[in-house]
């Protein structure tokens, strides 16, 4: 069980002996239990975001368990309610499940079955509250934070670099594996610059034939070649005043690299079939998944072009190197997919979260987004990825507590931000003891002073 918010169990049972034995069984298994003889006595405790689950008998003096279930769902529909029913009342319990009860257990029951059901309910409540924190964070983020999502040190540095370069006219080279979001970074450079009112023009250089590449970049005049029937405006002209994004520039044909270098040096181009120079004013952002310096040393990329475009460089980390961002990103993509497909956003289980944290993500953020889409569409089972075991990922410890460590750290950091670095307020919001929070801050190397304004 993840050590997220401390979840207590509200037990409502009017039979004194049954209530005492049930409370003892739960307490011996590590649960924090508060017991009541009626729903009316426990009702004042129910509030939105309450870190608790409810175990309630169906037949009670006064307010019945099923009636109280409806009231609880009006306050917070995500509070798990486990109903306890006597023999012969199964139909009533099934109806309550349709109305939103988490589960039901029939008397007489074994302590093992009770503990198993409550444990699952507690885990679900923990995850629901943690997800709520993530959603609040996503709702409160604006500007570049809402686009380049992540709280890892790497992504904070990426955002700072983007904002610094956006204010300049410098051409930029973006490095990153496939699926890390290179075009997203290029768009952020454009959207946060003075050029944002003009065009952002993307061109993927991968697999583009030499003849087409020249036409795409520089345009052509009528009659320049057989199929050239009219003037074509190239990407450089179209991006005038804005930003030209050249993705997979490592794939650009060598002959075109020469002309690209000349265009960048002179800030002018000539359409194919014309001798008239056309000046342009645009920022050029190039992206590559390969090391262009290494390619130039191997004579597979022009060294002079590399030095021309490789002045301002942004390096995007692969997802496996910023695992603490996975829960936040996955929740973001899940909400987007739920809206797009008009489906309810499902809640991860602990096992599914551990699966996400353990996977190597060779396709990076793009692959994570695809998994979120399939998750919302109900196309996945308990396993969300193709990982066979946690040990497949180098350096990742095996075991659920270690696998969710980055998730737990992210939740604590978010609450510290929300409470301006105040540990007592943060501990209260997380539903844990101050000493527990202090131990976790020391474990994760988090300094509350960093969040104080």
Provide the pLDDT confidence category of residue 88 given band limits of 50, 70 and 90: low
Same fold: 8-130 with 168-316: yes
95 pLDDT above the threshold of 70 = yes
Dihedral sign of CA atoms 103, 109, 115, 116 in order: negative
For the ranges 287-301, 329-343, 396-410, which has the lowest average pLDDT? Answer: 396-410
pLDDT of 134-165, one tens digit each?
A: 777 777 777 888 899 998 989 999 999 999 99
pLDDT at position 2 is 37
Look at residue 397 in the predicted model and tell me its pLDDT: 42
Q: Is the pLDDT of residue 3 over 50?
A: no
**Residue 421 DSSP one-character state:** T
- Within 13 Å of residue 51, how many CA atoms lie on the same side as its CB? 20
Domain boundaries, given as residue ranges, for the chain: 8-130, 168-316, 321-451
pLDDT at residue 8 in the model: 93
Pairwise CA distance, residues 257 & 272, whole Å:
15
pLDDT per residue as tens digits for the range 60-84: 989 988 899 999 999 999 999 999 9
pTM: 0.68
54 touches 26 (CB < 8 A): no
Q: In the predicted model, is pLDDT for residue 391 greater than 50? A: no
pLDDT score at 1? 31
pLDDT band at 396 (very low <50, low <70, confident <90, very high): very low
pLDDT at 371: 95
Full DSSP string of 192-244: TSGGGGS-EEEEE-TT--HHHHHHHHH-B-TTSSTT--S-B--HHHHTTTSEE
The mean pLDDT value of the chain amounts to: 86
- C-beta separation of 357 from 364 below 8 A: no
Residue 163's Cβ-side half-sphere holds a number of Cα atoms within 13 Å equal to: 11
**What's the token pair of residue 29?**
């298994």
Q: What is the pLDDT averaged over residues 240-268?
A: 94
- How far apart are the C-alpha atoms of 23 and 117, rounded to whole Å? 14
Q: Which two tokens stand for residue 417?
A: 């931000």
Backbone angles phi, psi at 167, to 5 degrees: -80, -5
Is 3.40.50.620 the CATH classification of the domain at 168-316? no
% of the chain surpassing 90 pLDDT: 53
- Please say if the pLDDT value at position 14 is more than 70: yes
Q: Which CATH class is domain 8-130?
A: alpha beta
Average pLDDT over residues 85-102: 76
């Amino acid at each position: 069980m993840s050590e997220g918010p401390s979840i207590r169990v509200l037990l409502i049972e009017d039979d004194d002996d049954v209530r005492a034995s049930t409370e003892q069984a739960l307490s011996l298994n590590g649960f924090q239990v508060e017991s009541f003889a009626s729903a009316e006595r426990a009702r004042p405790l129910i509030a939105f975001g309450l870190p608790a689950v409810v175990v309630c008998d169906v037949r009670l003096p006064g307010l019945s368990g099923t009636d109280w279930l409806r009231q609880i769902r009006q306050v917070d529909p995500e509070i798990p309610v486990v109903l306890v029913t006597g023999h012969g009342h199964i139909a009533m319990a099934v109806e309550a499940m349709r109305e939103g009860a988490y589960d039901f257990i029939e008397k007489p029951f074994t302590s093992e079955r009770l503990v198993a059901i409550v444990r699952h309910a507690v885990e679900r409540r923990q995850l629901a509250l943690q997800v709520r924190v993530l959603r609040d964070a996503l709702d409160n983020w604006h500007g570049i934070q809402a686009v380049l999502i992540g709280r890892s040190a790497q992504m904070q540095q990426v955002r700072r670099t983007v904002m610094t370069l956006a204010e300049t006219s410098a051409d930029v080279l973006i490095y990153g594996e496939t699926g890390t979001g290179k075009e997203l970074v290029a768009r952020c450079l454009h959207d946060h610059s003075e050029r944002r009112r003009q065009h952002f023009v993307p061109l993927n250089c991968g697999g583009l034939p030499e003849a087409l590449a020249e036409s795409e970049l520089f345009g052509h005049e009528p009659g320049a070649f057989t199929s050239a029937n009219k003037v074509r405006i190239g990407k450089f002209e179209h991006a005038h005043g804005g930003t030209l994004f050249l993705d997979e520039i490592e794939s650009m044909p060598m002959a075109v690299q020469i002309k690209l270098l000349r265009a960048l040096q002179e800030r002018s181009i000539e359409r194919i079939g014309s001798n008239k120079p056309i000046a342009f004013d645009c920022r050029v952002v190039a992206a590559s998944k390969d090391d262009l310096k290494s390619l130039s040393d191997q004579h597979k990329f022009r060294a002079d072009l590399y030095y021309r475009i490789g002045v301002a460089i942004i390096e995007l980390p692969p997802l496996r190197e910023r695992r603490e961002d996975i829960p936040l990103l996955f929740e973001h993509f899940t909400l987007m997919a739920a809206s797009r497909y008009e489906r309810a956003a499902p809640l991860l289980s602990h096992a599914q979260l551990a699966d996400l944290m353990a996977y190597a993500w060779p396709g990076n953020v793009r692959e994570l987004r695809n998994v979120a889409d399939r998750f919302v569409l109900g196309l996945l089972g308990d396993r969300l990825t193709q990982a066979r075991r946690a040990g497949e990922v180098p350096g990742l410890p095996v075991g659920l507590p270690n696998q969710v460590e980055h998730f737990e750290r992210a939740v604590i950091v978010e609450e510290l931000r929300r409470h301006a670095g105040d540990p007592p307020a943060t501990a209260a919001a997380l539903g844990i003891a101050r000493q527990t929070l202090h131990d976790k801050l020391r474990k994760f190397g988090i300094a509350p002073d960093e969040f104080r304004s």
